Chain A
């Protein structure tokens, strides 16, 4: 399928040299999106974590050992693997801004999209959400809870996008040309070290425009051609090299394609 082009392309640039792996983004995400705590979360293969922080290691020991942390939201791929496979159009990429949607009331829970996404960004609701007593007071009124049996994933806090557009309309601005910072997902807002930048990667006025084109910027698994809208930055070569597979050639640094 040919990738759709959008005037506005919401994207994230995550500086892996700044990320300390504190996990604040994961927590903020869970709160913002009303993800119920699991009664038994011991099986990590069944938890819901739209934003997940991976630990990377340079596999060296002693003084040379280094680690890095890599927060992984949904990449909102330009050429998503998940969208064309869904039998019921419960996930789509059709809205200005290029965010890949997830329609909970339509999803039949076949999990084909999960099998398709190489970033493991999709999660299945194994059980109905049950919020501990008292927690309902802290729920976000803007985000719907999802029933058992459907798939969900990061949507760049889509409700915040709607609110930002509403605000622009109220203030007499253009909702299709939001100013830098007017729309901020919860993870980008909360990150204590400012590792996560967010904005329109096609808009020169936005900070992410330059960040995404920097010489140390890369995306995960670029060779597969999914064209992610999430970029990573690191000055460390071993970190950049972990962004893609080079086993066949041994050469780091694939040709960078910008959307």
Chain B
């Protein structure tokens, strides 16, 4: 029925099946939308947040998707600036994934702040000393860059591209893509870092506080590294999931393995510094404020196992797997390493967000437990559903995968 809209020379499922799938995802989306409207109407009192846990699932979710979305800027940087041409096979997908992650995160942030109509104050009354100001600036600007990168892809849709003006517009945007990739890489590096800096500067939160270089705490650099260490492989995982669901080959394995190698290299650098950082923090910083490593953990919910899972099982292990060619070149092992990698980085964001503020700093205070409630889950689910919808539409109608025709002949 909508065959005329498909990219040239590819097969897609029947329209009925597509509608059914979209309906299924939309149901989740609508449920989240209901929660979102309720939050705008009644305020964040409907969530599980409180005065101890001002930050919770939403901030964790934001930080995680922003890290996972880092594939866009880093792949763009490698493709357009360092000219690694093979990445053209997957670059479109990284842009879409990045766009979904960033726009989704921005939507969550507007829900998260107590006064959404004042969201623009970040521009109007900026505090240049605050890492959060930098995050607000860079994320909004970078989201615009992603829109600019996404638009030519939309314009290349078969029917739209027949209109000469749009065809030329898309072409010209493509020609200048290196410029946007450069701007994107700059903005992204800064806000990925500032997100880490946000935690590193918290002098009152020993779990998160770090010394650093000039105005940047070590977490600034660690967050940049961990983001580029997981973003590329997250795109590969998205691609593989789409291949499994559609039964079509979209990107050749060589490209995927290359993305794995890129992520693995960065992850290895990251995990090396992360271990050094953790060691210095536990042995120098914590004793200097009268605390011990053991004090940073409590029971099962806040146990040490979390940190070991993060750094060893989901850090060191995937790093080794991804930089070892024989392991990386085995699809199952590549995807396993990728999944571990993404879990590890998300867990890192969770620990910095929740564990830091759950911990009692005053000696007479106690650990507090936080559990997100349905409203937080539903709205986070809404963002995932939104991502799936955008991705499904893009897959069906846009020429996202240049290799698809060749691989499925």
Taking Cβ atoms with an 8 Å cutoff, the residues of A that contact B are 1, 43, 45-47, 54, 56, 70, 79, 81, 84-90, 106-112, 114-120, 122-127, 147-151, 220-221, 223-226, 241-249, 254
Contact = CB atoms under 8 A, between A and B. Distances in A.
A150 B127 contact: no
Given A46-B51, A245-B289, A249-B290, A110 B113 contact: yes
A108 B45 contact: no
Interface in B350-402: 356-357, 361-365, 368
A5 B291 CA distance: 29
Given A45-B52, A116-B202, A127-B43, A89 B287 contact: no
A117 B112 CA distance: 19
Given A116-B202, A245-B363, A123 B290 contact: no
A14 to B, nearest CB: 14
Interface string B39-54: 0000111000111111
Nearest to B50: A45
Contact of B45 (A88, A110, A126): A126
A88 B121 contact: yes
B201 interface: yes
Given A87-B136, A248-B290, A242 B198 contact: no
Given A148-B114, A150-B114, A115 B122 contact: no
A247 B286 CA distance: 10
Contacts of A86: 127, 130, 132
**Interface size of B as a range:** 35 or more
B331 interface: no
A87 B122 contact: yes
Contact of B204 (A90, A124, A224): A224
A248 B51 contact: no
Contact of A89 (B51, B114, B125): B125
11 contacts: A85-B132, A88-B124, A110-B132, A112-B130, A112-B132, A115-B357, A118-B361, A123-B51, A221-B204, A224-B203, A248-B288
Contacts of B295: 245, 247
A94 B52 CA distance: 27
B203 A248 contact: no
B202 A85 contact: yes
A242 B287 contact: no
Contact of B55 (A70, A79, A111, A247): A111
A118 B206 CA distance: 9
B130 A111 contact: no
Contacts of A70: 364
Given A149-B113, A221-B204, A248-B288, 16 more contacts: A47-B51, A70-B364, A81-B203, A81-B204, A87-B133, A108-B113, A108-B121, A112-B132, A116-B205, A120-B365, A148-B43, A148-B45, A150-B114, A244-B290, A245-B291, A246-B290
Contact of A226 (B118, B133, B136, B203): B203
A89 B112 contact: no
A50 B112 CA distance: 23
Contact of B201 (A45, A84, A125): A84
Interface string B294-306: 0100000000000
B43 A149 contact: yes
B205 A254 contact: no
B325 interface: no
A1 B198 contact: no
Contact of A88 (B51, B112, B122, B292): B122
Contact of A243 (B45, B55, B132, B363): B363
B287 A87 contact: no
Contacts of B125: 88-90, 106
B113 A115 contact: no
A125 B115 CA distance: 11
A109 B203 contact: no
Contacts of A117: 204
A115 B114 contact: no
B23 interface: no
Nearest to B361: A118
B406 interface: no
